[in-house]
Every structure is written in structure tokens, then in C-alpha cells.
Amino acid sequence: MEQHILVVSQYFHPEEFRINDICREWVQRGHRVTVVTGIPNYPQGRFYKGYGLFRGRREEYGGVNVMRLPIVPRGRGAAMLALNYLSFVASGFLWKSFTGLKADKVFIFEVSPLTQALVGVWYAKRRGVPCAIYVQDLWPENLKAVGGIHNRHILGAVDKMADYIYRNCSRILATSPSFVSRLEERRSAWEAGRSKVAYWPQYAEGFYRPAERMPLPDMPCSGRFRVAFTGNIGYSQGLDILPRAAALLRQAGVPCEFVVIGDGRYREGLLGEIENRGVGEMFRLPGRKRPEEIPGYLAWCDAAFISFAESPLFGMTIPAKLQSYMACGMPILAAATGETRRIVREARCGACCDVGDGQALAGIITEMAHADPERLSDMSRNALGYCREHFGKDMLMARMEEMLAE
């Protein structure tokens, strides 16, 4: 049965988030989809070419109707980021008050900031329709871990906002079992009786699959053991561990090279750390690439890397890149605890060390670089098998439709 699904997400195509694929999939399954989003500016902090306050505000993407609310771009500082968050909420309040759009259901794609969810909740309350939220960042925990905010008055206000949002959602989906447990712990503040919280992990889009090595101008043969990192180069990724590990590997004579694909707020800081430790010859930073290009780059690498900054929150997180790496059959190297370590060990597809431990990271890289090729092949097969069993797209989308239909 066709339904009109309103998706509220501050980020959408051409910004690279998994909600893009989810929306296209809903269209293919016969639903009508409208997305209310912002003007694309993530992660660079400035509006993408072709978009602005007076252009690119309405478009169609893969059969999805896209409406872009006027916002302040993220910029580079904390003040601009706060304005970016607040401007989406302010524009969304005005939009929901005057729009004639009639949707059957609301789906909120909640990566930070949680404030964006207010727009979806307000619309659902005004129209009297069900509202689901997909929680990928926990607030106020994320404010403390990533934003460095510890003011109890601010955190208390955000906590009350979170309770308001969860109370007014018909279904709450979370990306990890640990997130489900955390939401259940606070459930008494907004719900009694049967739980509406469920685990729904992220999947990897169909183009994430093992690829053959094809010529790439910025990826010549090196003969070194190559470790790839893809995605946002932010402070919460804890990438300062890489130059420290690289210095130790060079000292030990291990031929290794790090390929860091992406962009973000910490890119300049990472380049500074690389220069300070004198390991520039061990790094390649080809910049941002389209998601469809990533498997081709991974094909030139021997393992893929995941890391976090030190925080209990990140131990509860399953990063989206983990599914992408596994779908490409990559052996995993992780400086992580909690959910990421659990999955890598369950799948038997890689090796883990503690967060921020450069010496331990150098040790597991050395071990993998000297491993028998058959062992790496086993890790690759295990990654693929686990991904298909636990993170299969068709299975998860069918489950999503069932949950939203309840």
C-alpha cells in the first residue's frame, strides 16, 4: 500500500548520508517520499556549488521530492555551528506552521543535532500522524563527548528536549544494541508500558562490494602494506593516533602507508601532526571522493581502519563505515572498544587495540602486515559473510517497513 513518507533530515544529497539510499529504496518500493532538509554544506562548512538561499531550494533526487529550508552554513567555529543548528529549527517551525503538505507518516533521520527532530515532531503533532525517529547520536551525551559542553543547565535543557522528542515519537529505532539499552534506561521519563525502542542497524549501499584494482592516478603501486581510512576527518575520529603509529612503524622498519580519504574539521590538524612527526612519506590524502568511488580505492589497500576519540559514548556506537568496509571484504584494524570491537571479534575479520594507543596500533598493523596471505583472505571472507547475515539491505528494509506499519 502506497504511503506518503515525510523525511526530516538536516542533511541530504549531495551530502553523503545513508538516508539518501533509504529514501530511494522507499520510492522503489512504491512509496511517495518528501524530504525536508537544509542547504548542503557538510562537512566543509560552506554551501555547495549550485545551492544557496535563493537557488537549489527545490529539486528531485531519485524520485524523491526535496525541499530545502534556509539555514546558516556550519562555518568553522562553535558559534557558527550553533547558528547552523538553530537556523534549521527556526526555519522548520515556520515551515510546519504554513505548509499544506499532507504526509501519512514522519521519519526523522537523527544524526547530530537532535534539535532537527523538533521539526518532524511538530509537523506530526500538527497533522496527527505517526512519527518515527532513527537515533544515530545520543544527546546530551554527544554534546559532552564531541562538543565539550559540560554546563549542567545546558545539558539539563537538552535532556528535557530529548525526552519531549522521544515522548512524541511513535517508534524509536537505534543503530546499536548499546543505544537501545541506553534509551531503555531513560524510558520511564517519557513512556510506560510496552517499549517502542528497537534495534535497526545501518546497512551498506549496493555499490559497496569487493572491487578489482583499476588504474587510479593518485594510487600508484607502492609495495607497502596499505591501511585505508574513509569518511569524515573530524576530532571525534581520534585520527591523531595514525601519525604516532606511523613513527613507530618507520622506526621498526615496517613498510606501511596510510591512505586517508575524506575531509573535515581535523584535516589541517592531522596534516600538522604528520609534519611534526616527519612521516609525510607514509601518508596519502587524496581528499573527498564520491561514495561510489570508495570501493575502488579500498581495492588498492590491504586493510581498513576505524578509530574514535576517548569517550564512553563511542563505545556504544557502530560507525557506518564498519558496514561499508565489511561489504567490500576489507580486513579491519580498529582502535575502538564496545560495539565495534564486539563485531570485529564476532566476525573474526580483523584486529583491535585500545583507543588512542599508538604503540598497540603499530603492533597489530605489524602483525597483519606480516600475516600469511591466506589469513587475510579468511578475514575478507568473514567480513563479507557477517555483513550479509547481519547487515543485509533487503532484510533490514523489509523489517523497517514492518515496524513503520505497526
User: Which pLDDT score is estimated for 189?
Assistant: 74
Q: Residue 23 belongs to what domain range? A: 4-203+392-405
Question: Rounded distance, CA 258 to CA 214, Å?
Answer: 19
Does 319 lie in the same domain as 188?
no
Kindly state whether residue 368 falls inside one of the protein's structural domains. Answer: yes
Structural domain includes residue 268: yes
| Residue 178 and residue 245 in one domain | no
* pLDDT for 403 beyond 90: no
Q: 211 by DSSP, 3-state: which?
A: coil
Residue 146 pLDDT: 78
Phi-psi region of 63 (alpha: psi -120 to 50; beta: other; left: phi over 0): left
Report pLDDT for 193: 67
Within a domain: residue 209?
no
The residues, ordered by sequence, that sit 6+ positions from 234 with a Cβ below 8 Å of its Cβ are 43, 264, 265, 266
Q: Judge if 398 and 385 occupy the same domain.
A: no
Do 247 and 368 fall into the same domain?
yes
| Confidence (pLDDT) at 238 | 94
pLDDT tens track for 118-136: 999 999 999 999 999 999 9
Question: Does residue 30 sit in the same domain as residue 91?
Answer: yes
pLDDT, one tens digit per residue, over 317-349 is 999 999 999 999 999 999 999 999 999 999 999
Residue 239 placed within a domain: yes
- The residue among 254, 261, 250 whose CA lies nearest residue 228 is 261
List pLDDT tens digits, range 161-201.
Answer: 999 999 999 999 999 999 999 999 988 877 766 789 999 99
Q: What's the rounded mean pLDDT across residues 29-33?
A: 95
Is residue 18 predicted with pLDDT exceeding 80? yes
Within-domain flag for 69: yes
The CA-atom distances, in angstroms, between 85 and each of 15, 68, 90, 91, 263 are: 16, 14, 9, 10, 20
**How far apart are the C-alpha atoms of 13 and 21, rounded to whole Å?**
9
Q: What is the pLDDT of residue 256?
A: 96
294 pLDDT exceeds 70? Answer: yes
Whether residue 12 is contained in a domain is answered as yes
Query: Residues 141, 231: one domain?
Result: no
Distances (CA, A) of 88 to 85, 115, 155, 254: 6, 8, 20, 49
| Contact predicate 80/87, CB 8 Å | no
Give the pLDDT mean for 92-117.
96
Task: With a cut of 80, say whether residue 38 has pLDDT above it.
Answer: yes
pLDDT (tens digit per residue) in 221-270 = 888 999 999 999 988 899 999 999 999 999 999 999 999 999 988 999 99
DSSP tag of 231: S
DSSP state of 371: S
- Tell whether 236 and 170 lie within a shared domain: no
Q: Report the pLDDT value the prediction gives residue 217, as an integer from 0 to 100.
A: 86
Same domain assignment for residues 304 and 286: yes
Residue 239 pLDDT: 96
Q: Are 304 and 228 in contact (CB under 8 A)?
A: yes
Helix/strand number for the chain, H first, E second: 15, 14
Predicted pLDDT of residue 401 = 87
* Averaged pLDDT for residues 17-38: 96
Q: Which residue has the higher pLDDT, 187 or 4?
A: 4
| 66 and 195 both lie in a single domain | yes
Could you tell me if 236 and 181 lie in one domain? no
Residue with cell 549550485: 50
Report yes or no: 320 and 203 within 8 Å, Cβ to Cβ: no
- Number of compact structural domains in the chain: 2
Residues 171 and 230 in one domain: no
Q: Report the mean per-residue pLDDT for the chain.
A: 94
CATH of the domain at 70: 3.40.50.2000
Confirm whether 312 is domain-assigned: yes
Secondary structure of residue 216 in the 3-state scheme: coil
Alpha helices in 187-240 (DSSP H): none
Claim to verify: residue 107 and residue 160 sit in the same structural domain:
yes
pLDDT band of residue 11 (cuts 50, 70, 90) is: very high
Residue 138 lies in a domain: yes
